[in-house]
Structure 1
Amino acid sequence: MSADRHGAFFLVITTFNRAAYLQALLASVAELRPAPDAVVVVNNASTDGTAAVITAAQAHLAALAHPIAVLHHELAANSGGAGGFSAGVERALAEGAQWMWLMDDDVTVVPGAIGAFGPWMERYDALVGRRYDAAGEPFYWQNRFSTFLGFPLPVPGDVFSHSNEFATNAGCFEGMLVHRNAVARVGLPDPRFFLTWDDTVYGWLISRHGPVRYVNEFVLHKARAQRSIDLGIRHLNDSSDLGRYYVMRNRGLVAQYLRVHGSFNAVGFALGTVLTAGKELLRLVAVEKSFRGVGRLLAGWRESRRIMAAKDFLPMPALEGGN
């Protein structure tokens, strides 16, 4: 990549015990044209063959006509997706990254993705590209974050029918591209989320300082097939007990961030929490055909109340040079 707005383009990948998916993702990185400058792989204390996959990818990508450095950033304990992205962005910045493209391990990249982002990178510091699902069909994601509800609301219809960009105020760490200036202004992603809500809040924080754009460019393929239902204005995928716990638990952190920025409404947030719980119950019944997991929703909700009651909450600090 050239200098200025296109300089030092890094991928930041968070992985945990999904060596086969990671191997496919790193193989697809080798096909990127133009190529990135480097890849930071945050290994969340994996216990499978992840380390060997990264070592093999380091040799393979270093031998390309346009070599790509693969930096293995291994954590001592699993810090979740949120902690992984926080550590990965910090490492990328330390290595001189100007742009950081964030993604989980269960996707593959479209070969022309970086070039597709290029024109938008001249105008914006935060971008979300489109994704194909595991069947090769467009994956639905077009949200705006309601500060009244503390909840992302799907935007119905084709947001690209009249323009190739959509103004959002939410992020998605499955393919979000951020410039170091945006990171400097709001700080690193908050590892306290561990799992879920971290990217929504991060996009909202960035949007308070400048535009966040969802652009009509397909940049990723989802590699992991999931059970799901189509609700017309969004899809509901299957989840896990861990995901169910954190989606409710992290309501407490969302509330704290809204308070810090003077955007918290107690009545609206309570309604948003009911909507969150209702969505998860629908996911259990309609997608997973079970009521097992309700206990984890309740446990997460109880913990969210404790987090909301804390008087000593501090947001992630802006970085040096941020304003």
Structure 2
Amino acid sequence: MTLTSSRPDAAQNEQFAPSSATITIVTFNRSGLLTRLLTSIAAMDPKPGHVVIIDNASTDDTTDVVESFRDSIGTEIVYRRLDTNTGGSGGFSEGMRVAYELGSTWIWLMDDDVEVVPDGLAKMGKWAPRFRSIQGRRYDFDGSEFYWQYRVAERLGIPIPFAPSGFDESGYKEMNSGCFEGMFIHRDVVGQIGLPDPRFFIYWDDQTYGWLASRVTTSVIVDEFVLRRTREIKQWDMGIRHMNASSDAYRYYIMRNRAHIKQYYRALGVYHPVSFALGTALTFGKEVIRLLFVERKARGMSNLFRGLRDGGTIARDRDWKPMPALVPAGT
């Protein structure tokens, strides 16, 4: 896999048109949360040209909720209900594909457990002439500022938990990660790095995608609050930072998907075995701490070991290849 950086950001200065943007939402059996998000989109000014909704085979009333907004949301809804649950990774991969094929210039990804502030698209569009991979800020469920780990220690393949949260007068900071809860990305970058990788199912997929984007363009987090989380998550307050509760499924994929990151690193020539193994050990230790101090239990640790075991199979797969670019290199 070859990624070449043209770094076109500041030179392009293309004018941002809200109608050229598509909000892409992935949802699964959370119609109540989806209702809040769609209600917030209906109140936006300006609005995007499309709202793409990828339904991961929900069994609740998600379809009825989507249909109830078609005439009132003020923009075009494109709804795709998948036959099976492909996880967040598969959902965002399909959502990106649909938005890209619609001809969207900008694609704004988000989970169903957020809502958009009314002028959120205008705030993001303000930065669009300068950058092509942008992350806005979020309010947490209680209205506090949500801290997101925007920098990755590349050799370790893990986020840097204490990267500075403050902004200077520029209003932005360079990042080398990504989060599908608010990623705002230009189609030219998507064309170069391809679609998000559905093989992750959940976890590490957005970090890896954001890292790939940062290799071809200047990626930034901007000092603009554009989203608000609408679901409360159990947390351990560590003073400066918080650690969220997890699940057995997350624990499994956190460890298994380290192998997919390893394969991407190998393909791009940045894999350092000792450093990466240390990153995996630190990840394992963090998940043990999460179990003991956030969820206050020991059951579930077997999922970490299962993930490591199955990751070993992925890491040994000689036929593994990265997601392909959507446009030929150099075009």
After superposition, the C-alpha distances for 1:168-221 in whole angstroms (9 at most, x for unaligned) are 100000001001001001000000000010000001101111111000000100
Q: State the alpha-carbon separation in 1 of the partners of residues 209 and 85 from structure 2.
A: 21
Matched residue SS, 2:138: strand
Aligned partner of 2:5 in structure 1 is none
Residues 216-255 of structure 1 mapped to structure 2, 5 A cutoff: 216-232=223-239, 234-255=241-262
* TM-score, with length taken from structure 2: 0.92
Tell me, in whole angstroms, the C-alpha distance in 2 between the residues paired with 1:94 and 1:319: 11
SS of aligned partner of 1:77: coil
Q: Which amino acid aligns with 2:67?
A: T
SS in 2 for 1:127: strand
Query: How many pairs align?
Result: 316
Moved more, 26-35 or 52-61: 52-61
Match of 1:124 in 2: 131
**1:98, CA displacement in angstroms?**
0.7
Q: In the alignment, which residue of structure 2 is the partner of 1:270?
A: 277
**Which of 36, 42, 53 is 2:48 aligned to?**
36
Q: CA–CA distance in 2 between the matches of 1:70 and 1:78? A: 21
8 Å Cα contact 2:177/2:206 also seen in 1: yes
Measured after TM superposition, the shift of residue 322 of structure 1 is 5.2
Q: Cα offset for 1:144?
A: 1.1
Quick one: structure 1 residues 262 and 85, their matched pair in 2 at CA, closer, same or farther if it must change by over 3 Å? Answer: same
Letter in 1 for 2:87: G
Q: What does residue 189 of structure 2 align with?
A: 182
Any unmatched runs of 5+ in structure 1? Answer: 62-66
Supply the distance in 1 between the matched residues of 2:275 and 2:104 (Cα, whole angstroms).
39
- CA displacement at 1:289 relative to structure 2: 0.7
- What is the distance in 2 between the residues matched to 1:78 and 1:142? 27
Structure 1 321/234 Cα, relative in aligned 2: closer, same or farther at 3 Å? farther
Whether the aligned pair in 1 keeps the contact of 2:291 and 2:298 (CA below 8 Å) is yes
Distance 1:283 1:78 in 2: 26
Q: How does 1:1-323 map to 2 (within 5 A)?
A: 4-6=15-17, 8-61=20-73, 67-232=74-239, 234-320=241-327, 323=330
CA deviation string 1:98-123 (max 9, x = no partner): 11100000111111111111221011
- The C-alpha deviation readout for 1:131-162, integer Å capped at 9, x for no partner, is 00000000011331122111111244333145
Task: Specify every segment of 5 or more residues in structure 2 that has no aligned partner in the other structure, as ranges.
Answer: 1-13
Q: SS in structure 2 opposite 1:270?
A: helix
Query: Aligned partners of 1:322 and 1:49: how far apart in 2?
Result: 43
TM-score norm. by structure 1 comes to: 0.95
Please say if residues 143 and 155 of structure 1, whose CA atoms lie closer than 8 Å, have aligned partners that are also in contact: no
State the AA in 1 paired with 2:64: A
Would you say the 8 A contact 1:17–1:46 is kept in 2? yes
Check 1:255–1:147 CA distance in 2 against 1; reply closer, same or farther (3 A cut): same
Shift in Å at residue 235 of structure 1?
2.1
Specify the code of the residue in structure 1 equivalent to 2:136. Answer: G
CA distance in 1, matches of 2:170, 2:162: 15
Which amino acid is 1:216 matched to?
D
Q: Distance in 2 between matches of 1:268 and 1:253?
A: 16
Q: Counterpart in 2 of 1:64?
A: none
Corresponding residue SS for 1:34: coil
Whether the 8 Å CA contact 2:88–2:201 is kept in 1: the answer is yes
User: Kindly, what percent of the aligned residue pairs are identical?
Assistant: 45
Whole-Å separation in 1 of the counterparts to 2:150 and 2:307: 24
Q: Please give the secondary structure, in 2, of the residue aligned with 1:130.
A: strand
1:16–1:45 contact (8 Å) kept in structure 2: yes
**SS of 1:59's equivalent?**
coil
User: How far 1:5 sits from its partner (Å)?
Assistant: 3.8
Three-state SS of the structure 1 residue aligned to 2:264 is helix
Q: Distance in 2 between matches of 1:168 and 1:141?
A: 11
- How far apart are residue 60 of structure 1 and its match? 2.0
Asked if structure 2 preserves the Cα contact closer than 8 Å seen for 1:187 and 1:319, the reply is yes
Q: Which amino acid aligns with 2:47?
A: A
